[in-house]
Structure 1
């Protein structure tokens, strides 16, 4: 526990976002699917939405926190292709479908099984769901991955944020919640709701999930 406390103090002095670290990877998955219209659930201040906008025609960002949503909206005020909506996932336009849907460190805030089912319904035929999520550690594999993450974290911190910070960046002040589901729980839920989803453990206490919705019959 003392080592974790020291790691946390080091992270406060040299803050870098585990979520932003996976932003380029998310964009590559979305781009590979040929997505033009993307829904970014829990967009925060818009870091991922900005990356997605470089590759997509339109990005709709959902953010339930009023102050954060306003900051994101101001960021994209001059870009009509990015629409920031002050709403949680339940407040989305339920009649619309997107070519890709992204969630980064969001899914563990929502009920897993019904949310996966609703996410599937958000996708256009052939659309892609890309998730970077948090999980509850359980077992030796998770322990080993956590150890590797703890060893790599200070190196990444010094590379990404070598100067000491007085306060954490605004995009790293969102409320957090401990995940309830293990990777096995997530795999089991995805097997029921998202057949064919690819799930992998990742460094820095994250997992990734990629799911491709079936294409329309007769589509190559």
Structure 2
């Protein structure tokens, strides 16, 4: 099997986004919740926002990287229903509540437990949180489950991007960070902060988390 460094070099020559791979899945989870007003944290150049907009009334995208936020803002300049804000999660409108909040490869950039707590507070009653996240590999189970991803990654790369790239596309140039928490640590934090959250290990070194906020009780 190719070493990680060889896989990295191959991926740079034939780039494709592991995050965009899960975009349609995220959009389906949001649509299934009937969300109309959505917050996309770390929206990048807006690939997920474009999918979400097809079924939602409004999408607010937060993006802290200036150049990336500019690209996203220009992309949606003619769509008043999509608002791109050059800000990180702390820069959101703390008074607002959303029907759905999405984060793709963003949560590991933030303090885990406090952010999960704040995300819960961002949701309207019955709102849905959808996360596609990265985790730190630790132990034989993580290494074993990484094997299918390592084998599939170059195959998908050749299908999606058969020609060699001179440079990565804009949506793959935002700053990155290695995850600190293991999947078990993420599960434990979610159990404390988001009771009932559903977490699954996924292909391509990702996990997914779906949490539904309690529905507000009706009148007595």
Whether TM-score is above 0.5 comes out as yes
Shift of 1:218: 2.8
User: In 2, Cα distance between the equivalents of 1:22 and 1:133?
Assistant: 10
User: In 2, Cα distance between the equivalents of 1:54 and 1:90?
Assistant: 27
- Alignment partner, residue 91 of structure 2: 91
Query: 3-state SS of the aligned residue for 2:78?
Result: coil
Query: 3-state SS of the aligned residue for 1:67?
Result: helix
User: In 2, Cα distance between the equivalents of 1:120 and 1:43?
Assistant: 19
Q: Which moved more, 1:134-143 or 1:210-219?
A: 210-219
- Alignment partner, residue 102 of structure 1: 102
Unpaired runs of at least 5, structure 1:
none
- Alignment partner, residue 63 of structure 2: 63
Matched, 1:43 2:58: no
User: In 2, Cα distance between the equivalents of 1:144 and 1:48?
Assistant: 30
User: In 1, Cα distance between the equivalents of 2:151 and 2:138?
Assistant: 19
Residues 154-175 of structure 1 deviation map (CA, whole Å, 9 limit, x = unaligned):
1111111111111110110111
User: In 1, Cα distance between the equivalents of 2:6 and 2:55?
Assistant: 39
Aligned length: 219
Runs of 4+ more than 3 Å apart: none
Within 5 Å, which residues of 2 pair with 1:157-196?
A: 157-196=157-196
- Alignment partner, residue 207 of structure 2: 207
Query: 3-state SS of the aligned residue for 1:179?
Result: coil
- Alignment partner, residue 156 of structure 1: 156
Within 5 Å, which residues of 2 pair with 1:135-154?
A: 135-154=135-154
TM-score by length of 1: 0.97
Shift of 1:2: 6.6
Residues 110-130 of structure 1 deviation map (CA, whole Å, 9 limit, x = unaligned):
000000000000000000000
User: In 2, Cα distance between the equivalents of 1:186 and 1:35?
Assistant: 25
- Alignment partner, residue 31 of structure 1: 31
Shift of 1:148: 1.0
Query: 3-state SS of the aligned residue for 1:26?
Result: helix
Query: 3-state SS of the aligned residue for 2:80?
Result: coil
Unpaired runs of at least 5, structure 2:
none
Query: 3-state SS of the aligned residue for 2:83?
Result: strand
User: In 1, Cα distance between the equivalents of 2:93 and 2:133?
Assistant: 23
